[in-house]
Amino acid sequence: DAGVIQSPRHEVTEMGQEVTLRCKPISGHDYLFWYRQTMMRGLELLIYFNNNVPIDDSGMPEDRFSAKMPNASFSTLKIQPSEPRDSAVYFCASSPDSIHSGNTIYFGEGSWLTVV
């Protein structure tokens, strides 16, 4: 069974450019999460979806960040315009319904973003 798939794995972009990170969750999972990891702030939850609907986006840093989940098998996290302080590892994760299946959240391999 395929895990959470993220792309690109690595991206280097110039300040001001638009960045789009993509995620395919595990089939059948109802929840999708976007986390960001930096040395300074650790792991931060940016936003999560339940059945394609955004539930909590309070972690999205500012209007430059947006996330969509047009269907159950695809989500994007977009940064426009990008800034050097956005450099981080961005993780997508998914889980089945929180009442069942042990509540385990499975992570993708992460997208390493560097903004120069």
- Binding residues for another protein, rule: CB under 8 A, are 31, 33, 37, 42-43, 45, 48, 50, 55-56, 89, 91, 93, 95, 97-99, 102-107, 109-110, 112
45 or 72, CB closer to another protein? 45
Q: At CA 90, angle to CA 95 and CA 19, rounded to 5? A: 120
Write down the least CB distance from residue 45 to another protein, Å.
Answer: 5
Nearest distance from residue 49's CB to another protein, in Å? Answer: 10
Tokens 């990170």 — which residue? 21
Q: How far is the CB of 16 from another protein (least distance, A)?
A: 26
Q: Indicate the residue among 81 and 105 with the shorter CB distance to another protein.
A: 105
Residues near 58 by Cβ (< 8 Å), separated by ≥ 6?
Answer: none
